Each structure stands twice: as C-alpha cells, then as structure tokens.
Amino acid sequence: MNPIQPTQSLPPGYHSIGTIDLKNNLRAILWLNLAGLGLFFVAGWAFTQALYLLRPSQAVVVLEFSVDGIGGVLQAGLALLALYGLMIMAHEAFHGIFFWIFTRQRPVFALSWAYAYAAAPAWYLPRNQYFITAVAPLAGISLLALLALAFAPPAWFLPALVVAVSNFAGAVGDIWVMIWLLRQPPTCYAQDRGDAVTLYLP
C-alpha cells in the first residue's frame, strides 16, 4: 500500500478531529508562555551541562562577562534582541523549508505580537511529514548549537546558548502539536493555517 501524500483536497470520508487555535485565544497563549518559561530553565540547564561535557576546560568563559554602565546594558540588550530575532527567523525558516520540500509550494510566513509562524494553509500533510516539519526547528537549531559548543571558539558559547535555549522554550507550541500527532495513526492529515492546526481522520 502506497503511503498517503500531501494533498490540497482531503480524500472522501475524512473529518476533523480537533483544532489547536491560537488566534484570539489568550488563555492558550498564556498557558503556552508559562510552559515555555519552564522549558527555558530546563533547556538552559541541559545546554549548559552539554557545554561542560563538550568543553570542560573552556566552559567557564560563559560566566566571565560583565556589563559596564548604561551603555553596556543597552548594548547587551540589543545583542539579546538581535539573537532572539535571528532565532525566530531560523526557526520559521526550518518550518518553511520542510513545507516547501513536501508541497513544492512557497509557504506563508507571518509575525504577530504573540507568535511568528510559517504555514501551508492550502495543503493537508500526512502525519509523518507534518511531524518532521514540526520537529525540524527544535532538532535543527539544537544540533547547530551543540556543534557550535563543541567546535566553535569560546566567544560563540554564549550566543549559541542564548539561541538554543530561547528556541527550545519558543518551540512549546510545536511540542504540543507533536505530542498530539504521536497519538494519531499514519492515515491522519494535518492542515497548518499558521495560527491554527487541524487534524483529520477517515
């Protein structure tokens, strides 16, 4: 039996089994942000431990930084904002690349006050392909950060940690969707409209 493929029209007999909708859902957004805060601390501990395992003699460099005066605080704040912006762009780019790989159509990108997204609203992706698309930023950016911690100069340690930890915390919505997907059979289809994901089963 051939595996199901991405489609722009659901096969006969499929129906929605539920939707995760963040649009105007402040309660869900608040819960996700709280969960993301917990993931931030867990990921911070995990990636720091990875650094001490990979570069034990140089890991202390991460703690050896100082900020002098208001100018230094502003400079550090701008650097953190730049790293966070870079992380968001990389995160959504990973999603977008896999949407394009599976649909051969340019994905939709958007940014709101609460979240950013890449989406393929005109497509229904099979469970396995959508799972890969959902996990791609978490796996890809974490791997790149670990490679930086293992092989890059010590000056890269702190930026790599900031990007990796903020990405992990920001992936809480993706993790929610992945857990939901794992509970479904391979015949499941997912439609990602950016601020909402709907699953379909026959």
Split the chain (202 residues) into runs of 10 and give each run's mean pLDDT.
Answer: 84 94 76 87 95 90 64 73 90 96 94 79 96 97 96 91 94 92 96 92 94
Q: Does residue 143 fall inside a structural domain? A: yes
Q: Does residue 131 fall inside a structural domain? A: yes
Q: Does residue 105 fall inside a structural domain? A: yes
36-85: pLDDT as tens digits: 889 999 999 999 999 999 999 888 877 666 556 676 567 767 888 888 88
Q: Can you give the pLDDT at residue 1?
A: 46
What is the CA angle 33-132-32, rounded to 5? Answer: 10
Q: Does residue 6 fall inside a structural domain? A: no
Q: In the beta sheet, which residues pair with residue 198? A: 19, 191
Q: What is the count of structural domains for the chain?
A: 1
Q: DSSP 3-state helix, strand, coil percentages of the chain (rounded to 5)?
A: 60, 15, 25
Q: Does residue 7 fall inside a structural domain? A: no
Q: Spell 7-37 as b/e; 16+ CB within 10 A means b.
A: eeeeeeebeeeeebebeeeeeebeebeeebe
Element housing 21 (H / E): strand 15-21
Q: Which of 64, 39, 78 is nearest to 165 (CA)?
A: 39
Q: Does residue 117 fall inside a structural domain? A: yes
Q: Can you give the pLDDT at residue 190?
A: 97
**Residue-number span of the structural domain to which 98 is assigned:** 15-201
Q: Does residue 25 fall inside a structural domain? A: yes
Q: Does residue 9 fall inside a structural domain? A: no
